[in-house]
Amino acid sequence: MSVLLPLRPAFVARLDAARELGRRFLLGAQTPGAPGAPPEEFEGHRAYTPGDDVRWIDWNLFARQEELYVKVFRAEEEVEALLLVDASASMTGGDGLKHLSAAAAAAALARLALLCGQPVRAARYADRLLDLGGPWRSPDDLYPVQRLLAQAPKPGSGTDLAGAIAALITGRQRPMSVVVLTDGFQEPPLVSAVARALARGVRRLTLVRVVDPEDLAPTLRGHVVLRDAEGAGRRALVADRALEDAARRRIAHHFLLLAEELARLGVPLFELPVREPFDEAFLAMLRTAAPTPAPRVA
């Protein structure tokens, strides 16, 4: 079963105007001609559209024709955008908002990548890699991207990001820019998967944590039954304020350690809150994209 969360036309127009923010999010701050940017070759011109980087307008051509055109460059290496969405059972939390928000964010990033000329692949994972689609090369391909990403999470499944990334990068030659969208409720293998991916030559790896405030501050009072959404069992107990505070501290500590380890690796970490209007939350996340240090993998 799948539930599509369509991108509204007004939001798509705002996305198209934010394509340079999308490029920075997916590839970092490098632009053609910038120090450290991949070598690129001038290929031609195309008509300017709102959202294009004004630095690449050909003003000499404008002086002759009085129309705006931007220079088009062809990279020596084409970087493929890979969008990897957590489809484990924990993503069904928050009345399904985590799953829907992750799928919609991945579809929005797919459109931005396609507008920037990146081929796109999309995949879902739970206890293993569930599926992989693409490559897609045109913004008109957005519907099949959404259909793949909108498949319902796998009931009762665990989470194995390490295995999913290993399956995706094995034998691949083309450089990739990978974005993982997850709630982050995983043990250290999440970080080890990131480290291995970087060591295997992934051009850029970014983690988007889909945040539901109810996950971070659960209410535990009286007789409660705790159930692991990913099949690790259930436990009945009598909870009080002390237990509730301890649970919240442990959750906060988990995400603090995750953020510290990703920072050590030089991996960008962004948060997407699910109980705010999606369009604004997504665009606010894009605006926080900034240059990050080069990955350091032991």
- The residues, ordered by sequence, that sit 6+ positions from 276 with a Cβ below 8 Å of its Cβ are none
Write down the H helix ranges in the chain: 9-17, 19-27, 59-65, 97-115, 142-149, 161-169, 189-199, 213-216, 241-265, 278-287
The tens-digit pLDDT sequence of the chain (298 residues) is: 445 566 888 999 999 999 889 988 998 865 444 433 444 566 678 787 776 667 778 888 888 888 888 887 655 467 899 999 999 988 887 678 899 999 999 999 999 999 988 999 999 999 889 999 989 998 888 888 988 988 888 877 788 888 888 888 877 777 889 999 999 987 766 788 888 888 777 888 999 999 998 888 877 777 666 655 555 566 676 677 887 888 889 899 999 999 998 988 889 999 999 999 999 999 999 998 854 444 444 4
Domain with CATH 3.40.50 in the chain: 9-28+77-287
Pairwise CA distance, residues 47 & 57, whole Å: 9
On whether the pTM is more than 0.85, the answer is: no
The distance of Cα 58 from the centroid of its chain, to the nearest Å, equals: 33
Pairwise CA distance, residues 198 & 298, whole Å: 10
Pairwise CA distance, residues 226 & 218, whole Å: 11
Q: Residue 273's pLDDT is what?
A: 94
Q: Residue 113's pLDDT is what?
A: 94
Q: Residue 158's pLDDT is what?
A: 80
Q: Per the omega criterion (within 30 degrees of 0), is the bond before 135 cis?
A: yes
DSSP for 97-152, please give it: HHHHHHHHHHHHHHHHHHHTT--EEEEEESSSEEEEEEEE-SGGGHHHHHHHHTBP
- Angle between helix axes 9-17 and 97-115 (nearest 10 degrees) is 50
Pairwise CA distance, residues 27 & 61, whole Å: 29
CATH number of 9-28+77-287: 3.40.50
Q: Residue 66's pLDDT is what?
A: 82
Pairwise CA distance, residues 65 & 44, whole Å: 16
Residues 12 and 111: beta-carbon distance below 8 Å = yes
Residues 76 and 141: beta-carbon distance below 8 Å = no
- Which has the closest alpha carbon to 183: 246, 258, 127? 258
Tell me the three state secondary structure of residue 247. helix
